[in-house]
Amino acid sequence: MDKSTFEDRKVVISGPVHGSLRHDSAHKHVTGSADYIDDIPEPAGLLHGALGLSDRAHAEIISIDLSAVAAYPGVVWVFTGKDVPGVNDTSSNGSHDEPLLAETLVQFHGQPIFAVIAETRDAARRAARLAKIDYRDLTHWHDIDGALANGGPLVITPMTLQRGEPEAEMPNAAMRLKGQMRIGGQEHFYLEGHVAVAIPGEDDEVTVWSSTQHPSEIQHIVGHVLDIPSNAVTVNVRRMGGGFGGKETQGNQFAALAAIAAKKLDRAIKFRPDRDEDMTATGKRHDFLVDYEVGFDAEGRIHAVDATYSARCGFSSDLSGPVTDRALFHADSSYFYPHVHLQSKPLKTHTVSNTAFRGFGGPQGMLGAERLIEEIAYALGKDPLDIRKLNFYGQPGSGRTLTPYHQEVEDNIIARVVEELEDTSDYRARRNAIIGFNRDSRYIKKGIALTPVKFGISFTMTAFNQAGALVHIYQDGSIHLNHGGTEMGQGLYTKVAQVLADSFQVDIDRVKITATTTAKVPNTSATAASSGSDLNGMAAFDAARQIKERLTTFAADKWEVAPSDVVFLPNRVRVGESEIPFSDFIKQAYFARVQLSAAGFYKTPKIHWDRKAGRGTPFYYFAYGAACTEVSIDTLTGEYLIDRTDILHDVGRSLNPAIDLGQVEGAFVQGMGWLTTEELWWDDKGRLRTHAPSTYKIPLASDRPKIFNVRLAEWSENAEATIGRSKAVGEPPFMLAISVLEALSMAVASVADYKVCPRLDAPATPERVLMAVERMKRV
């Protein structure tokens, strides 16, 4: 080994791909110096907007008197749907079923009817409460049962998945059972609520700063409501204080209202609803009612499944079609169903239109599947983990790899993940000890569960699986990065910057991370479906490849060496026998008129989907994981503690292990909240009563597992050619929290000596746990 090669191995860049680098804004988050939209210095003449909300769940609007609103001190303008210059609609799917401002009909309590623009935010909000609106009340229903009782109206065409002969084969199963499971919704409860600032420009131009996961959709919606082309609208997003899917479509209305007022008044406009209005007027995770029948043999092997997934969608379609589709895509969880029939029911209700939330229907689908496993286990008197392992998808060639949507599971590692966690968590010995503890303990009961995760990665809308990136290298060797992904705290900007730094072999601090803007990268997809790093990382890599090819050609010609003799080393470039600092090399390339800018592009290969036929390959690959959770419940009160959780999660070859571990931990706690403490409740007038922190309970730091062991499957590497052979990490770990519900279920079941399935619905609040305990006492 020559000296130069030895030195190459000693010198490394800071922040390479696969390195544990801190989030680029971490120090700003903890010191409060990170700028969010409400922190941007206010432009001169800024006005503030507020919403005028309906106080009926379903009614015709007879008359509107806004005179008192307009007369309130400080009010500059009050406008309704009739004042919208273009189309009074913000629907994300072209269905035209979601008016920006209701004109003749309101369909949920809290639906915006008018907007107030005033000199101060306080004046706008106070004025908005002075409207006099006459209604003619109509029949309303706010839950799944009400929708079914009123004919089951749908917001969009449902989907059916079928494989095998479930109807014919169900009677042939040795054992059969039927059941029903209710799964609650969830409020996003981001730290930063919805906010938008619109600044008017020349002619038809307008610039919008929006807290959104989908800048291009904001661009399109603003264009529609103003009746201007997309090229007149620029949308900027530097960071969000959380998104979780709630800012994929729900920011549309605030950006649109701000833009309309900005162009009308020729002044900057800001809309920032308070927490109550935000929770009332924006969508949430869908509630589900799962009706199921499963046929199985004496060993617990599933033979046939028939299930219907009914969802509370709200008054409009929004994203309910793809959400309920993805619920069916994950209604198999990690299990092979020889014969299966699955159907969705996206039901219309007179509530706010529900929307994307981390997992996008997948958690509800997967939870239904785990209920099937639990039912079988209690019916046969077996450990649910044994039933899980018996029904796992097999390896290629086993005849047990075909999903209900006819995609082959080719990258299956779930058995290895589960077996490794079973061993490292000491699951078997602990379960036996818990059974002994429950036998001797009168009031405190324990439970333990080990549950798997298999989650498909890609947008099921094939067109969304594309991304662009724009990369510039300046004369001094500094690098400018812009791409279509948005940063909501998940570390996407850091990961993509690492990809770029690694590609050019320069230190990460040489790469400037800039705000996402539609003016630089067009036609972006939402930062959703866990695809942010996959898509934007590959797009940035493609841009770097183009520039490096030009630089290599330049160097080979200038120094008369073969292209293979041009090597990018840490912060320098070797050309033949010479080494040149990166910044000097770039300056020479500039003077040689080498193009130092590139637009990268990436589209996910191999995927296709035919919704009508229920067949295709909607997912590029699957991410896997497993969690083992132990709980204790008080049978006198229903209260419980999460004693311990062990997690092993698959992120392929991690782009940034530190960030990925944080994502797994955060997803688990958020999922735990969904399944335990977070309960949405509407009264008989259709009013959301859990609309503030005082009535809606997200997990506290003290609610986390007392012992919390989280590991990444370091041996895993994506079989597909993703960026760095990594896997998505945003949504898959959310479903690890199912282990909490299953553990609570075991603790409840112990009251009846594990003879029957407790059928514990979600969220398993202390009240529900207590009621389930009382049911078990009567068995």
Q: How far apart are CA 210 and CA 197, in angstroms?
A: 7
CA-to-CA distance for 570 and 756, rounded, in angstroms?
63
Cα Rg of the chain, angstroms: 28
Phi-psi region of 231 (alpha: psi -120 to 50; beta: other; left: phi over 0): alpha
- Residues β-bridged to residue 707: 644
* Residue 671 phi, psi dihedral angles, 5° rounding: -65, -35
Q: Is 731 noted as a catalytic residue in this protein?
A: yes
The alpha helices in 95-187, defined as continuous H runs, are 121-128, 144-149, 166-169
Burial class (CB in 10 A: 0-12, 13-18, 19+), 441: middle
| Total count of residues recorded for the chain | 779
From the list 731, 742, 767, 774, the catalytic residue is: 731
Give the integer Cα–Cα distance in Å for 136 and 384.
Answer: 53
Q: What is the DSSP letter of 750?
A: G
Give a three-class secondary structure readout of 513-571.
ECCEECCCCCCCCCCCCCCHHHHHHHHHHHHHHHHHHHHHHHHHHHHCCCHHHEEEECC
How far apart, in whole angstroms, are the C-alpha atoms of residue 536 and residue 150? 45
Cα–Cα distance between 313 and 345 in angstroms, integer? 9
Three-class SS state of 59 = strand
> Kindly report the CA angle at 145 between 144 and 151, in degrees rounded to 5?
90
Distances (CA, A) of 25 to 248, 493, 631: 22, 9, 35
Residues linked to residue 293 through DSSP beta bridges, in sequence order? 178, 306
Q: Give dist(CA 324, CA 155) in Å, integer.
A: 11
CA dist 685 and 54 (Å) reads 12
User: How far, in Å, CA of 330 to CA of 347, rounded?
Assistant: 19
Rounded to whole angstroms, the Cα distance separating 60 from 45 reads 37
Distances (CA, A) of 427 to 423, 453, 666: 7, 17, 23
Residue 85, both tokens: 């210059």
Between the alpha carbon of residue 570 and those of residues 167, 508, 574, 582, the distances in Å are 63, 11, 10, 9
Instruction: Please answer whether residues 360 and 186 qualify as being in contact, where contact means their C-beta atoms are separated by less than 8 angstroms.
Output: no
Q: Which residues are part of the catalytic machinery?
A: 731
